[in-house]
C-alpha cells in the first residue's frame, strides 16, 4: 500500500497538473530559455524539467539525451526543496550525490539549478545547467540563471490562471490568450538579453571607442539568441556586425564582402570547426584577424603560447563587456603570419556536445 503523501506535496502536484505542461511537445519559448541559460553560464547542458510523484520529466533539453529520469535519482529533487539556487561545484565530492547515477552513470560533476516557483511557493520543477567537469559559477551568472527561472515561473503562472478560468466553450479564446502570453514571454527574453548588456556596460564603465573608423566584425554562431546577445553588445561600441550561422556561410560572406576586419567564432560550429574556418579564411584574407571562443580552457584547445601568438581567445562564460574588451585587444594587435595549421581541434571535442563548443 502506497504511503500517504504530505499535504504540501499534494498541493504541489495539483499545481503542477493544473499547468498542463507534463508530457507536452517541445516549445520554442522553453527551448530558447534553456539555450540562453547554457550560454550565460557557459555549460554544455541546460534543462527545464518538471517533477511529478515519481519522475523528473524534461520539457526542454540542451546537451542531454534522456527525456526523463527517476525523481529519486535526480539532483533537481533537492532543488525543489528550496526557494533559492542550488549550486554544486563538484557532485562527486558531495556525499548527497557522489554515489548516485547522475555522477556514476551520467558523469555529472557541476550543477546549478533554480526552482520554478508558483506565487503560492510551490516548486513545480527546475531550470538547471550542468557540466561534466567541476567548476565554479560567478555570482553574476547565478543571478542571470535565477532571473530566467523567474521568467519561466511567470509564464507557467499565466498558463495556470488561464486554464482555471477557461470553460470548454472558451477553448479558442484560451488558446489565443496562451499564444499572446508566449509572445510576451519571447519579448521578455529578448529584453532580458538587452538588460544583461546594459547592466554589464554600466558595471564595466567601458570607455568609448577611440578609433573613428568603423571596423567590420563577422560573428559565426549557430544559436540565434547567442548571436543577438553578442551583436547587441558590439554594436553599442560602434562596430559594424555581420552574422553567419556556420563556417560555410562565413566563408561565403568573406568572399562577397570587401572588408572583414575580424571573425569571431565558436570552436565547434556546423560544417567545420573554428580552427578549420580560420585556416580557410586566412587563404582568402591573410590580414584578417580572428577571435576564438570556447567553453574549453586554453590548455585543451592549444598551448597558451600558440593561442596567444596566433589568435585571440575568450573562454566561456563571458560577459558582453569581456567580449567587447577582447575584441578591442585583438583588433589592436599587429597582423601575424598565419600558422594555425599546427593547432588541431582537441581530441574528443566533437563528441558529447550539441551546442556552443
> Using one digit for the tens of pLDDT, what is the confidence trace for 281-297?
888 888 888 888 876 55
pLDDT score recorded for residue 192: 52
Please check the confidence at residue 198 and state whether its pLDDT lies above 60: no
pLDDT score recorded for residue 156: 84
Query: How wide is the angle at C-alpha 254 spanned by C-alphas 276 and 252, nearest 5°?
Result: 80
Identify whether residues 26 and 118 lie together within a single domain. Answer: yes
Identify whether residues 133 and 252 lie together within a single domain. Answer: no
The most confident of the ranges 14-23, 53-62, 148-157 is 53-62
Identify whether residues 226 and 196 lie together within a single domain. Answer: no
Beta strands in the chain (DSSP E): 45-51, 55-62, 68-70, 86-88, 110-117, 123-131, 216-220, 240-244, 262-266, 289-294, 312-315
Identify whether residues 196 and 251 lie together within a single domain. Answer: no
Final residue belonging to a domain, choices 177, 202, 227: 202
Identify whether residues 52 and 166 lie together within a single domain. Answer: yes
Q: pLDDT confidence of 349, banded at 50, 70, 90?
A: very low
Beta-bridge partner residues of 293: 266, 314
Q: pLDDT confidence of 98, banded at 50, 70, 90?
A: very high
> Using one digit for the tens of pLDDT, what is the confidence trace for 158-191?
776 655 554 444 545 545 554 555 555 555 555 4
Contact between 21 and 50 (Cβ < 8 Å) = yes
pLDDT score recorded for residue 176: 56
Residue 223 lies in a domain: yes
Mean of per-residue pLDDT scores for the chain: 78
Grid coordinates given for 355: 551546442
Q: Which CATH number is 253's domain given?
A: 3.40.50.2300
Identify whether residues 24 and 112 lie together within a single domain. Answer: yes
Final residue belonging to a domain, choices 202, 222, 237: 202
Alpha-carbon gap, residue 327 to 265, rounded angstroms: 12
> Using one digit for the tens of pLDDT, what is the confidence trace for 211-270?
445 899 999 987 776 777 788 788 888 899 999 988 889 999 988 888 899 999 887 777
**3-class state of residue 59 by DSSP:** strand
Of 5-14, 35-44, 332-341, give the lowest mean pLDDT range.
332-341
pLDDT score recorded for residue 129: 97
Grid coordinates given for 191: 529584453
Segments forming the whole domain that contains residue 333: 213-342
Cis peptide before 341 (omega within 30 of 0): no
Q: How many separate helices (H) and strands (E) can be counted in the chain?
A: 12, 11
Residue 133 lies in a domain: yes
**3-class state of residue 18 by DSSP:** helix
User: Listing from the earlier edge strand, what are the strands of the sheet with 216-220?
Assistant: 240-244, 216-220, 262-266, 289-294, 312-315
Q: pLDDT confidence of 348, banded at 50, 70, 90?
A: very low
- Give the burial class of 143: count Cβ atoms within 10 A of its Cβ; 0-12 exposed, 13-18 middle, 19 or more buried: middle
pLDDT score recorded for residue 17: 92
Q: pLDDT confidence of 29, banded at 50, 70, 90?
A: confident
pLDDT score recorded for residue 267: 77
Number of domains in the chain: 2
pTM for the predicted model, two decimal places: 0.59
Residue 353 lies in a domain: no
Residue 160 lies in a domain: yes
Residue 350 lies in a domain: no
Identify whether residues 13 and 146 lie together within a single domain. Answer: yes
pLDDT score recorded for residue 87: 97
pLDDT greater at residue 87 or residue 343: 87
Please check the confidence at residue 346 and state whether its pLDDT lies above 80: no
Contact between 347 and 301 (Cβ < 8 Å) = no
Nearest to 284 by CA among 254, 315, 243: 254
Residue 2 lies in a domain: no
Identify whether residues 255 and 147 lie together within a single domain. Answer: no
Contact between 356 and 44 (Cβ < 8 Å) = yes
pLDDT score recorded for residue 211: 43
Residue 1 lies in a domain: no
Q: Which CATH number is 156's domain given?
A: 3.30.450.40
pLDDT greater at residue 292 or residue 317: 292
Identify whether residues 188 and 219 lie together within a single domain. Answer: no
Final residue belonging to a domain, choices 150, 176, 202: 202
The most confident of the ranges 38-52, 190-204, 269-283 is 38-52
Identify whether residues 287 and 163 lie together within a single domain. Answer: no
Residue 241 lies in a domain: yes
pLDDT score recorded for residue 184: 52
Identify whether residues 31 and 104 lie together within a single domain. Answer: yes
Please check the confidence at residue 319 and state whether its pLDDT lies above 90: no
Identify whether residues 245 and 336 lie together within a single domain. Answer: yes
CB atoms within 10 A of CB 114: 27
Grid coordinates given for 264: 569571431
Amino acid at each position: 500500500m502506497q504511503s500517504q503523501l504530505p499535504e504540501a506535496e499534494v498541493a504541489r502536484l495539483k499545481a503542477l497538473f493544473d499547468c498542463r505542461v507534463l508530457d507536452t511537445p517541445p516549445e520554442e519559448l522553453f527551448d530558447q530559455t534553456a539555450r540562453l541559460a547554457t550560454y550565460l553560464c557557459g555549460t554544455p547542458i541546460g534543462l527545464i524539467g518538471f517533477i511529478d510523484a515519481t519522475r523528473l520529466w524534461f520539457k526542454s533539453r540542451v546537451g542531454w539525451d534522456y527525456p526523463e529520469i527517476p525523481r529519486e535519482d535526480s539532483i533537481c529533487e533537492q532543488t525543489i526543496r528550496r526557494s533559492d539556487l542550488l549550486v554544486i561545484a563538484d557532485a562527486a565530492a558531495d556525499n548527497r550525490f557522489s554515489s548516485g547515477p547522475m555522477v556514476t552513470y551520467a558523469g555529472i560533476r557541476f550543477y546549478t539549478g533554480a526552482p520554478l516557483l508558483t506565487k503560492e511557493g510551490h516548486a513545480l520543477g527546475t531550470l538547471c545547467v550542468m557540466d561534466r567537469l567541476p567548476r565554479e559559477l560567478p555570482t553574476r551568472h547565478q543571478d542571470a540563471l535565477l532571473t530566467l527561472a523567474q521568467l519561466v515561473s511567470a509564464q507557467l503562472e499565466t498558463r495556470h490562471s488561464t486554464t482555471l478560468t477557461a470553460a470548454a466553450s472558451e477553448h479558442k479564446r484560451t488558446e489565443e490568450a496562451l499564444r499572446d502570453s508566449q509572445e510576451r514571454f519571447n519579448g521578455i527574453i529578448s529584453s532580458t538579453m538587452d538588460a544583461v548588456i546594459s547592466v554589464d556596460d554600466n558595471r564595466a564603465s567601458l570607455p568609448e571607442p577611440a578609433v573613428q573608423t568603423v571596423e567590420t566584425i563577422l560573428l559565426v554562431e549557430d544559436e540565434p539568441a547567442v548571436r543577438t546577445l553578442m551583436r547587441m553588445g558590439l554594436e553599442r561600441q560602434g562596430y559594424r556586425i555581420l552574422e553567419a550561422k556556420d563556417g560555410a556561410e562565413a566563408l561565403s560572406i568573406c568572399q562577397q564582402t570587401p572588408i572583414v576586419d575580424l571573425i569571431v567564432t565558436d570552436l565547434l560550429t556546423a560544417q567545420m570547426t573554428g580552427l578549420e574556418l580560420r585556416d580557410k579564411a586566412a587563404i582568402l584574407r591573410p590580414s584578417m584577424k580572428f577571435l576564438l571562443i570556447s567553453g574549453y580552457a586554453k590548455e585543451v584547445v592549444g598551448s597558451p603560447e600558440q593561442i596567444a601568438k596566433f589568435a585571440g581567445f575568450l573562454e566561456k562564460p563571458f560577459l558582453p563587456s569581456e567580449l567587447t574588451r577582447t575584441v578591442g585587444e585583438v583588433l589592436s594587435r599587429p597582423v601575424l603570419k598565419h600558422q594555425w595549421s599546427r593547432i588541431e581541434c582537441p581530441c574528443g571535442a566533437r563528441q558529447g556536445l550539441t551546442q556552443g563548443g
